[in-house]
Amino acid sequence: MSKDDDAGVTGVTRIAIDGELTIYRAADLKVTVLEALRKSPVLEVDLSGVTELDTAGLQVLMLAKNTAAVDQRELRLLNHSPAVVEIVEMLNLGAFFGDALLIHS
């Protein structure tokens, strides 16, 4: 995971998740994503490097989206990898996340 912090200048922080977003990493990623979200009014999460997504990883993303709404912050999911698109479409969660499902070329 990488982090590009522009929160001081633009109010936007961007992090990138690489590799598996699965049960094996969900607990660590949950802490990282929620911490980044609490430090910035807008958090962008680049998902272009996600190679696998399971329900535990999906729960992390859903928790982050709900937390952002409760805390009056914005969570943007960007550059959805094919693995992310497949799960979001299969479970019909596009409307829940509200982000355009675009695969980064």
Residue 100: which pLDDT band, with cuts at 50, 70 and 90? confident
Q: What is the pLDDT of residue 4?
A: 57
Range of the structural domain that residue 31 is part of = 2-97
- 1-14 mean pLDDT: 67
| Residue 104 within any structural domain of the chain | no
Read off the CATH number of the domain in which 18 is found.
3.30.750.24
pLDDT, residue 98, reads: 84
Q: How far apart are the first and last CA of the chain?
A: 19
Half-sphere exposure at residue 50, Cβ-oriented, CA atoms within 13 angstroms = 31
- Domain count of the fold of the chain: 1
Residue 100: C-alpha distances to residues 7, 23, 78, 94 (Å): 23, 25, 8, 8
Type of residue at 71: D
Give a yes or no: residue 69 inside a domain. Answer: yes
Query: Which tens digits make up the pLDDT trace of 23-82?
Result: 999 999 999 999 999 999 999 999 999 999 999 999 999 999 999 999 999 999 999 999
pLDDT at 6 over 60: no
